[in-house]
Each structure stands twice: as C-alpha cells, then as structure tokens.
Amino acid sequence: MNAYDAIVIGGGSVGLPTAVFLAQEKLKVLVIDKHPSCGQGQNKAAIGGVRATHSDPAKIKLCLESLDIYSNWADTFGDDIGWKMGGYCFPVFREAEESMLKGILPIQKEFGLNIDWVDADTIREVIPGINENGLIGGTYSPEDGQVCSLQVTYAMVRIGKSLGCDFKFNEKVTSITHDKGKVCGVQTDKGHYAAPIVVNAAGAFARQLGEALGLDIPVNPDSHEAGISAPVKDFLAPLVVDLRPGPDGRSSNFYFGQNHEGAFIFCYTPSTLFAGTDRRCTSEFAPSIAQRLIDLIPRLKNLLVRRLWRGLYPMTPDGSPIVSAVREFPGLYLAVGMCGQGFMLGPGVGRNLASLIVHGKPIIDADILAQLSFYRDFHAAAEEALK
C-alpha cells in the first residue's frame, strides 16, 4: 500500500503540477506536504503574476509553457483559476532602466516571447491614469497574465486525484531514503513510503532535505510582503513593474496589478532583504507601498486595503531555479530555488520534469534546461536581470 512510482515532496507551486504531469504519464504518484492542505507554503503568498519576461532563456521557455498551461486550463480541465491575460508592462522613467530592458529584448524575442519597447503614449493607454512625469516609454508583453494562486492549487489536487495521485497532508518528510545511493523512498513523521523516484519540491525548506544526504542545495529564503485591496471597477489590464528604487529607500522595485475580481494586489522588493523564514512582521511595507502606488497612479488614492502578508522567496545565488537530476542519488530530482517566480514557473517545470523523468528528455531543448542544473557554477552564471 505504501509503494509508488514517484513521490513528490511538497504540494506547492511546483510540486502540484509536477505530480499532475507525472500522473498524466501514468505513474502512480504520492504527494506529501507538512501543511494541512495544498498550497499553504509560499504558493498562497504569490500575487499570481505569470510572465515569460525574463533574461534567462530557460526561465523564458519554462514560463512560456506555464502560460500555455494556465491560459488553456479552463478549456482543458474545466476549472476557473482566475486567468486574466492582461500582459506585463514595465513603465520606464530613467535611462538606466531603458537600457537594461532594451538590452534583454533581443534574447526575449529570440526565445519566443511576444514583447516590445513601446512609447509613452502606448504606456498611457495600457496604464490609464499613470503619472506621466518623466515617462519615457517601457516594455509591454501582452500575452503574459495572472492566475489566482489559491484557486489553481485546489484545481490541481482535483485533477491529480482524478488521475490517481494520493495526497498526504499534515505529514512531514524527515529524510529521503536510499539503498547504496539508489533512491528508494521517503521517511516521514508518520511512516515510510517506497518509490524509485523522489522529487524534492520543498520550496524554501529544500535545503534541509539535502543535508542528510550530504547535498548542499543552495536555496536560502528571504521574506517579502504583499497586500490586496477591496475590489474596484476594472480599469487596469496588465501587471505593472516599476523598477525604480522607492524614494524612501525601503524598496528597490515594486509591482502590482488588478486581479480578475477587481482587487489590486501589490508587492515590493525590500532594499535590505529580510533573510530567513520569519514572516511575522507586516508593518514595514504598507506606508511605503501605499505612497509608491499613489505616486505612480494617483487615482488609486482611495483604495481600501484588505489584507497584508509576508511570504518567502526561495532564492538561489544566481536568481534562477534548480531543475535537475541528482547524479549522486539516481532517482532523486530537484525542482527548487524558484526565487520570486515559482508560481509562474511551476507548470512549465512540472511538465518538463515529468518528461525528463519518464522519457529521459524535457519538452524544451535539453541544453536550455541544463542551464538550471544543480551542478552549474552558481557564482559564475549570469544573474537573472528580472528576478
């Protein structure tokens, strides 16, 4: 009863789609999560932005796959997951951001992203009511979008169950077991489960699972705040990213959008990162982000903020994820270190990892996925520009 073809550790942004795609390949899959239900790790902290707008080719390709999966979800599986194809817009006010964004356009286009530099008039149309003071132009990628991170996890569990996946919640994996190096299952605080394939998709806590095996998985979490408003009349299609540092020195950039229900959902990158897993404080960010939102779009001044929260970015040194087989332990795979983009990467990572496991090759070019190897030099690799 406790034997499976594959075990996925973590029922979050990456683990759930990985399980669904493995089950679609007819594997008998078990998903284990320490929380009482799915998506209760960092998945539910995500504001739901899904963009292929990156500088790293592997991330561009995987997120294009995710966009394909999310945008077709309702037609394929029938669930409303809050998909909104409003695009992503990076308005630009300074030469520094202009040259950085223009500098990565060739690679974004080469790898298939529909994106362009647009003038200030177009930005005004795309972001109605934007403060035009100093506005130069910006980039716009109309096929990026948003999804509700809560709705999609429940949809994935439903599909997973219909494909024969088992789910164990409230159960913590304490170690990955092996027989002379060959993976043979996992030990939890409640029992042992056997499988020749184990996927570590434990997010911000992936590193701990490597330690007992002597693997140094370079994933270090830091914490980020976000908030959501009461719904207002729909007027903003894209998710907006302002790359300028905030005037009060607290944030390096900020991003926001209006979701499918009309609520504004927003977030920033703190200038000084909050390293570690402590998510208790949510008072640092509100006054600062409120000012930034109103400065950029003055008509947002009467928004009623409903809720603030903190969550973790599972960071790697170069800002790109690790999607990789582990050579020292045949049967063990890593799908970790998603940084601030695990929700948008999840379905693309899941589909490619399932193909790698079952067919020995990913769906995207194997050389491109290899850039996310566990064995790359994390300090020599080019850093993701839009992490």
The residues that touch ligand FAD, with contacts defined as CB under 6 A, are 9-15, 32-35, 40-43, 45-49, 172-173, 201-205, 209, 224, 226, 267, 311-314, 336, 338, 340-344
* Residue 197: CB atoms within 10 Å: 20
Nearer to ligand FAD among residue 45 and residue 354 (C-beta): 45
Closest CB 50 distance from ligand FAD, rounded Å: 6
* 103 Cβ contact partners less than 8 Å away, ≥ 6 residues apart: none
Nearer to ligand FAD among residue 102 and residue 192 (C-beta): 192
Closest CB 92 distance from ligand FAD, rounded Å: 21
Residue 360: phi and psi, rounded to 5, are 80, 0
Task: Tally the C-alpha atoms within 13 A of residue 21's C-alpha that lie toward its C-beta.
Answer: 25
Residue at shortest CB range from ligand FAD: 12
Closest CB 133 distance from ligand FAD, rounded Å: 27
Closest CB 386 distance from ligand FAD, rounded Å: 12
Q: Which of 98, 139, 95 is nearest to 115 (CA)?
A: 139
**Spatial contact of 350 and 10, defined as CB atoms under 8 Å apart:** no
Letter string b/e over residues 230-249, b meaning 16 or more CB atoms within 10 A of that residue's CB: eebeeebbbbbbbbbebeee
Closest CB 99 distance from ligand FAD, rounded Å: 26
Closest CB 121 distance from ligand FAD, rounded Å: 28
Nearer to ligand FAD among residue 56 and residue 137 (C-beta): 56
Tokens of 378: 């994390």
Nearer to ligand FAD among residue 87 and residue 311 (C-beta): 311
Supply angle C-alpha 382, 249, 54, rounded to 5: 25
Tokens of 302: 């009467």
Nearer to ligand FAD among residue 90 and residue 137 (C-beta): 90
Specify which residues 369 forms β-bridges with. none
Nearer to ligand FAD among residue 137 and residue 204 (C-beta): 204
